[in-house]
Structure 1
Amino acid sequence: MKDVRVVIATRGSKLSLVQADVVADALQKHSNAKIELKVVKTRGDIFGNIPLQELEGKGFFAKEVDQVVMREEADIAVHSLKDVPSDVPKRIALAAVLPRASPLDALVSRSREKFEDLPKAAVIGTSSSRRKAALLRLRPDLSIEPIRGNLDTRLKKLTNGLYDAIVVAEAGLKRMGLEERATSVFTIDEMTPSPCQGIIGVHVKVDNRKIIELVERINDEKTLLEALMEREVLKIVGGGCRVPMGVFARALDNMLDIVCALYSPDGSRHVYVKEGGPIERALETARRAAKYIQREGEPILSSIRVTG
């Protein structure tokens, strides 16, 4: 493919721009693409002080970016795939994912304490129902308070003394060159990650074959399989960001292992399953894990549906 102009739609946060640059660099390694960025403000950005659970709908950080692509004002949309709902518009295709960064969650504490050393009733900032429930499961004595804003904003709120610690994605810290800020990193079992955490996804309009063919060159097949299986579990169990659930799939040596954890909102109950099988039966493995969570976690899911 000769010189081609590619317009990338992205949110305007520092982390989003870093991720867009990662995609741009990958595209330029495989083509003579001339890259332009188009910054888009999303509902998640506009209503930055309102907990996501209180906003109507879903896709708070993705919908408007994808709409720019559907209107053909940009060629591709770059997302943190964990922010993208499992049911994307039919006119949008997930054309590529980049190799996965860390899927783990990290604690950043103001006074540099590790998680186990935080004082009783320490105030931890997170607006994720999953992180809140997992934290309370590990330490019911903690005080969990909502926090919104991009990574920079949350770190500033921490520095300004509004929280004793915050929990963020380790991948975001690493992409921003801030990995040294992490004082603890939670294991998969301690805090099972959000589906697709650590994965950059690239959306393209389904009928834009020229751009799809270009973008497919940067796709990482292993990460794509993991992402699709995690999203399959999310789609089957349902509930969106209101459901405190983590899903993590790992493809290795022609096998796929998948871990799912469902928490009650207060962390007092926890349903956990680990399934595995050959890669050619990956979908069966994911569905088996999802059905287990649905069955054994029904009391938790029912209570969330009632209160939600």
Structure 2
Amino acid sequence: MQTDVIRIGTRGSALALAQAAETRARLMTAHALPEEAFDIVVISTSGDRIQDRSLANAGGKGLFTKELEEALFDNRIDLAVHSSKDMPTILPDRLEISAFLEREDVRDVFIGRAAKRLEDLPQGAKLGTSSLRRQALALRMRPDLNVSLFRGNVQTRLSKLENGEAEGTLLALAGLKRLQLESVASEVLPVERFPPALGQGAICIESRIGDERIRKLVDAIHHEETGIALACERAFLAALDGSCRTPIAGHAAVVGSRLEFHGMILTPDGSQAHEVAAKGPVLDAAWIGTDAGSRVRDKAGTSFFEGWG
């Protein structure tokens, strides 16, 4: 049953709540609506509850979106706010990504106890991360590192680091900025050397197909350049059947009327990597991503992917 109040679904972490609040603030400004016109609805997801193993071993992408999507189907919420990098490339029937907010900084950061820079960690130091991509990129630079599982929200991971469970960890700069915690970063890693997850730094809104009330509402806060870049990145991911089991990195950027893309696939231990670069008109964003994915897959060969399943 439709209500006048716009119900925004979100996970309950501090970062997820900050992203929902940012979405609400943008909608308030765009439509001159009071805060009371919105209700932020917190929904616990499988990804939040599973803390004892990697997401790759728990089911991969979709663990942070499934329960929010069920709430959309049940009409308990009107829109769901997600981190774009958590979104599977194939959405459930009757749901769509209806808007992207303007993208934050896409870079990763290193936060160190034993060193200020990732490359300066002591030999064999323990690096905590839950991301196979970050693990692979770090081991590509420093094969001697001992990578351990670091699950939990931003504050949990920082607490683990503070408690000495690792000598360093890696986080997204965008999340730290949204939490006003960017000062904890000891090194910002360049995109060229440490490319981000596809979709990193971008908030997306998911809603029901055909819900014109919500579509018109969120159209006003959609950021076109971010949408173009994400169309390319998500197409690249889809072409590689990307999941949490596949270390895939990449970044698309709009430069004038052109789109530039750089992508990379790695083995989990970082010992092998293949890169691809592409550019073209912004209108061809999805095609550029799909073609880049096909080319890097052909370059790597079938045997490269055999250990990913």
**What TM-score, normalized by structure 2, do the two folds share?**
0.95
> Which moves more between the two structures, 146-155 or 293-302?
293-302
Query: 1:100 corresponds to which residue?
Result: 103
Matching residue within 77, 82, 87 for 2:90: 87
State yes or no: 1:69 paired with 2:39. no
1:165 maps to 168
* Helix, strand or coil at the partner of 2:18: helix
Corresponding residue of 2:5? 5
Hey, what does 1:223 align to over in structure 2?
226
Q: Find out whether 1:236 has 2:239 as its counterpart.
A: yes
2:17 equivalent in structure 1: 17
Number of the residue aligned with 1:276: 279
What SS class does the counterpart of residue 30 from structure 1 fall into? helix
Task: Return 5+ residue gaps in structure 1 as ranges.
Answer: none
Deviations 1:255-279 (A, max 9, x none): 1001110111111111011111122
Q: Is the 8 A contact 2:234 2:289 kept in 1?
A: no
Q: Distance in 2 between matches of 1:232 and 1:151?
A: 28
Cα offset for 1:213?
0.6
Query: After TM superposition, where is structure 1 displaced by more than 4 Å over at least 4 residues in a row?
Result: none
State the shift of 1:112 in Å. Answer: 5.3
TM-score, normalised by the number of residues in structure 1: 0.95
In structure 1, C-alpha distance between the alignment counterparts of 2:100 and 2:284, rounded to whole Å: 21
Query: Would the aligned equivalents of 2:15 and 2:178 in 1 still touch at CA under 8 Å?
Result: yes
Distance 2:129 2:62 in 1: 18
Residues 57 and 178 of structure 1, relative CA distance in 2, 3 Å threshold: closer
Q: Share of identical aligned residues, percent?
A: 34
Structure 2 partner of 1:26? 26
Secondary structure of 2:306 counterpart: helix
Secondary structure of 1:59's aligned partner:
coil
Query: How far did 1:52 drift?
Result: 0.6
Q: How far did residue 298 of structure 1 move?
A: 2.5
1:267 lines up with 2:253 in the alignment: no
Structure 2: how far apart are the matches of 1:281 and 1:205?
26
* Matches for 1:146-295 after TM superposition, within 5 Å: 146-295=149-298
- The DSSP-based 3-state class of the residue aligned with 2:119 is helix
SS in 2 for 1:286: helix
Deviation of the 1:300 alpha carbon: 5.5
Measure how far apart 1:134 and its partner are. 0.5
Quickly say closer, same or farther: Cα 1:74–1:85, change in 2 above 3 A. Answer: same
Bigger mean CA offset, 40-49 vs 56-65: 56-65
Whether the aligned pair in 2 keeps the contact of 1:115 and 1:183 (CA below 8 Å) is: no
The alpha carbon displacement at 1:4 in A equals 4.5
Q: For 1:57 and 1:223, how far apart are their aligned partners in 2?
A: 25
Q: Deviations over 1:179-238 (max 9, x none)?
A: 111111221221211110000001111121111111111000000111111000111111
Any conservation in 1 of the 2:60–2:245 contact (CA below 8 Å)?
Answer: no
